[in-house]
Amino acid sequence: MKRLLILEDGTIFEGTAFGADVDVTGEVVFNTGMTGYQESITDQSYNGQILTFTYPLVGNYGINRDDYESIIPTCKGVVVRENARLASNWRNQMSLDEFLQRKNIPGISGIDTRALTRIIRHHGTMKATLANPGDEIKHMQDQLRATVLPTNQVEQVSTQTAYPSPGTGRNIVVVDFGLKHSILRELSKRECNLTIVPHTITAKEIIDMNPDGVMLTNGPGDPTDVPDALEMIQGIQDKFPIFGICLGHQLFAMANGATTSKMKFGHRGFNHAVREIATGRVDFTSQNHGYAVDAASIDKTDLMVTHIEINDQSVEGVRHKYLPAFSVQFHPDAAPGPHDADYLFDEFMEMIDATKLEKGDF
């Protein structure tokens, strides 16, 4: 069965349908990773987006029980050059096609994803529609241009109630803006006792929990759409060590006076080189974001830039000059991607221990 991908600029791609038989509209973006399609599709940072994979063959090792980054994915659609006919891996439980059908996500294959990626790189991310042929094309294009994409993505993907992930070590409050399960895995490896809380939690509620540290997770959308989080961060950052990742990084920077802006086409992939300014160390990192902290806005804050992206010099990490708090734009938890930067979780643990020792809490 045929399916169309219609872009806001008028471009139309015709390909083969797979996955769910539904029409959807969202922001079309591209991911440059060579593997990790399951983790990407289930990453809540892709909420509301039509996800294009630049690697030509997708689905060749199927879907397994271990690589979910969330249980209910909320990306709008999947675009691939070739959807593998056979999934071959000892962990395989179902095909990508079957998985997308179960999750009610449409896919399109057989289109030139290189050409699509060039369009996005040139014009920037834009709205797009995945639809079956049949409706009048001009009508679908008019509907697409008139569609206003939602801005409450974090509300859609954050947990509604707090829940525990028990451990025997440090007590960490994890503020869920659309977290990846790999963040919980990394903290659990370090035997942390976790309490995952909604994005609406207040500073007072966190203070009453008296954690050893606070994790601000990744999530979808524009950080300026989550203004209440800034007040929460301002209320706790002088009381507990903080570690922010991706959206959590942007919110931490904004809470301290920095600004953010939308990138032309973002960073989405697992091969982004990042330099740590203090040491010159270069890590290859996993990234998924369409917004970035403005470098010039940091000069008038109590923050210092710790990491930069080698290719475009964008801000990839900040640290508070006077408080035990830092954040990074990339994913040290990877999944998928290189684990070069997972030492940052150990630095967070060391920061917590040093803070407790200073307070005499040991």
Q: pLDDT tens for residues 296-319?
A: 999 999 999 999 999 999 999 999
288 belongs to an annotated ligand binding site: yes
- Type of residue numbered 175: V
| CA angle (267, 270, 274) in 5-degree steps | 70
Q: What pLDDT is attached to residue 359?
A: 81
247 belongs to an annotated ligand binding site: yes
Q: What pLDDT is attached to residue 208?
A: 98
pLDDT tens-digit profile of 121-146? Answer: 999 999 999 998 876 888 899 999 99
144 belongs to an annotated ligand binding site: no
pLDDT tens-digit profile of 33-64? Answer: 999 999 999 999 999 999 999 999 999 999 99
What's the start-to-end Cα distance of the chain, in Å? 64
Cα–Cα distance measured from residue 342 to residue 104, given in angstroms and rounded to the nearest whole number: 33
With CA atoms as reference, report the closest residue to 159 among 71, 254, 27.
71
Q: What pLDDT is attached to residue 133?
A: 87
**Which positions are annotated as active-site residues?**
246, 331, 333
Top CATH class, 154-359: alpha beta
pLDDT tens-digit profile of 202-232? Answer: 999 999 999 999 999 999 999 999 999 999 9
45 belongs to an annotated ligand binding site: yes
Q: What pLDDT is attached to residue 358?
A: 86
Mean pLDDT of 339-352: 96
CATH code: domain 2-149 is: 3.50.30.20
Mean pLDDT of 158-177: 97
Per-residue three-class SS string for the chain: CEEEEEECCCCEEEEEEEECCCCEEEEEEEECCCCCHHHHHCCHHHCCEEEEECCCEECCCCECCCCCCCCCCCCCEEECCEECCCCCCCCCCECHHHHHHHCCCEEEECCCHHHHHHHHHHHCCEEEEEECECECHHHHHHHHHHCCCCCCHHHHHCCCCCEEECCCCCEEEEECCCCCHHHHHHHHHCCCEEEEECCCCCHHHHHHHCCCEEEECCCCCCHHHCCHHHHHHHHHCCCCCEEEECHHHHHHHHHCCCCEEEEEEEEEEEEEEEEECCCCCEEEEEEEEEEEECHHHHCCCCEEEEEEECCCCCEEEEEECCCCEEEECCECCCCCCCCCCCHHHHHHHHHHHHHHHHHCCC
250 belongs to an annotated ligand binding site: yes
169 belongs to an annotated ligand binding site: no
Paired tokens of 87? 């999934």
Q: What pLDDT is attached to residue 318?
A: 98
Q: What pLDDT is attached to residue 362?
A: 59
Domain ranges (residues) in the chain: 2-149, 154-359
Q: Are 24 and 51 in contact (CB under 8 A)?
A: no
Q: What pLDDT is attached to residue 333?
A: 95
